[in-house]
Structure 1
Amino acid sequence: MHDVAETRDQAWERRTELPLFFASLFFLAGYAVRVLAGDTDRLLRDIASGVVFTTWLCFILDYAIRMVLSDLRPLRFIRRHWLDALVVLLPTLRPLRLVKVHDAVQAKMDRPRRGLYARVMTYTCMAVVLLGFSGALGVYEHEHRAPGSSIRTFWDSVWWMCETITTVGYGDVVPVTVPGRLIAIGLMAAGVALLGAVTGSFSSWLIQIFRREDEEGPPGK
């Protein structure tokens, strides 16, 4: 049973979180088809562009409705929900909302909320896959026809994404366009943050286990 004190915008967000998550998957699929199809199939690209535009419109409409329901001034609402505003501007960043989506799925299936460490690992794995795929698509779109670019195929872009998000950076393939380098900055920041979250969570989990063993003491004591 949901809290009686739930506000109107919170109730709207709870009801639309899963539908918008599936809409974000349609957006990502449409974007992937539009980028990878190239000029070989004009009709397919037009259909994919229509899917991208429609889902993007859904995100904008959702944000506007939540702003109205919140009864907050627009600037204050944007400051409070800056991540949502960023997602509306760049829908490929919607994987950053996976924590809320995961909790919504657990609630729909009447399952208890997972522990902190399990949630961190689940979120990190899903975020790496979706952010990495989105970044690879974005870099390929802007780089594969750019003069002097070493990223010519989608596989080149995937390889570059793996190097970047893991902070390895061999330097064999690098973006040369401004959009490509901006995407690289975002992936590097995400890679450092996600790796830090995993390392910190794993270390905390080990410390908790060792502390529990120390408190229990040796057998028979």
Structure 2
Amino acid sequence: MPSRSPPSSPGVGHHREVTEKRWAELTEWPLIGAALVFLVAYAVSVLVNPEGTGGVAVEIVMVGTWVLFAVDFCVRLALARPRGRWLFTHWYELVVIALPMLRPLRLLRLVMLLNVMHRSAGTAVRGQVIAYAAGSTSVLLVVSSLAILDAERGAPGATIETYGQALWWAVVTVTTVGYGDIAPVTPTGRVIATGLMLAGIALLGVVTATLASWIVDRVSEQDEVNQSATQAQVSRLSADIAALRGDLARLGAVTEGGSGRTDHPATEPYR
């Protein structure tokens, strides 16, 4: 009698297989945490400028977070299908990871934070999109203000020497106001300003589109309420018309019955 192999439990192969999408879901929050740690470390290095052991510790934290993002990128590239198309659509991540460890450029690795936040925003509802836009705007303001202060402070003719001035410049730039009272003078600062302008336009578009979607939905809801009320009124009117037809039918039957009766004897002519 041939031996039977034990039946394989359903879903075993499915559970063992890890896709790029599944990996991104598993690493989403850890990478957000790593990016925030990097942001704190970079803020300390720019605002405090620690020396000695503190400076070494800050540098180790920033390098360690960069290694985490590099490992995540390599794993997702290995799991992606097809790899060429995935790499083409995620070229900016490769550029950020491949940047040299130069002080003015290393902050660009915080673009990964916005990318990780963007992973769950594609299918998010409106409230989540608003939260994503608000969070992205806050992170963008902090990141750009730190970057511009790091690039401009101490440069000849620079007007951005404190973090307050850097933050004011970032707010004015991201809102596309541009007073012109404070402006970057270094090449790196101008590159940062260009990126912030483009990001501000994009975020403004997200906010505008979300507001327009909310208005359209409110109008649609009001139309549905009005249509429901109209349908209810039409139903009541139909019921009243049906009842009126019934009353007219009964009245007609009574009238016809009365006209079909024989005349009363008293009304007959006298013979």
- TM-score range normalised by the length of the shorter chain: 0.7 to 0.9
- In structure 1, how many angstroms separate the alpha carbons of the residues matched to 2:22 and 2:209? 33
- In structure 2, how many angstroms separate the alpha carbons of the residues matched to 1:91 and 1:215? 47
> In the alignment, which of 185, 189, 192 is matched to residue 194 of structure 2?
185
Matched, 1:35 2:54: no
Q: CA RMSD in A?
A: 2.5
Q: Which residue of 2 aligns with 1:68?
A: 78
The 1:101–1:145 alpha-carbon spacing in structure 2 relative to 1, beyond 3 Å, is farther
Matched, 1:91 2:109: yes
The gaps in structure 1 that reach 5 residues or longer are: 104-112
Matched, 1:13 2:24: yes
- CA deviations on 1:96-124 (whole Å, 9 max, x unpaired) are 22133579xxxxxxxxx862x21221111
Query: Which structure has the larger Rg over C-alpha atoms?
Result: 2
**Contact 2:31–2:113 (CA under 8 A) maintained in structure 1:** no
> In the alignment, which of 145, 154, 165 is matched to residue 154 of structure 2?
145
- In structure 2, how many angstroms separate the alpha carbons of the residues matched to 1:7 and 1:80? 20
Which letter does structure 2 place at the counterpart of 1:175?
P
The gaps in structure 2 that reach 5 residues or longer are: 1-13, 100-107, 234-271
Spell out the pairing of 1:64-213 with structure 2 (5 A cutoff). Answer: 64-70=74-80, 72-73=82-83, 75-88=84-97, 89=99, 90-97=108-115, 98-100=117-119, 115=125, 117-213=126-222
TM-score normalized with structure 1 length:
0.83
Q: CA deviation at 1:31?
A: 0.9
**Contact 1:92–1:131 (CA under 8 A) maintained in structure 2:** no
- In structure 1, how many angstroms separate the alpha carbons of the residues matched to 2:78 and 2:57? 32
**Contact 2:121–2:129 (CA under 8 A) maintained in structure 1:** no
Which letter does structure 2 place at the counterpart of 1:206?
I
Q: CA deviation at 1:162?
A: 0.6
Q: CA deviation at 1:201?
A: 1.2
Q: CA deviation at 1:168?
A: 0.9
Identity %: 35
TM-score normalized with structure 2 length:
0.69
Q: Which moved more, 1:185-194 or 1:90-99?
A: 90-99
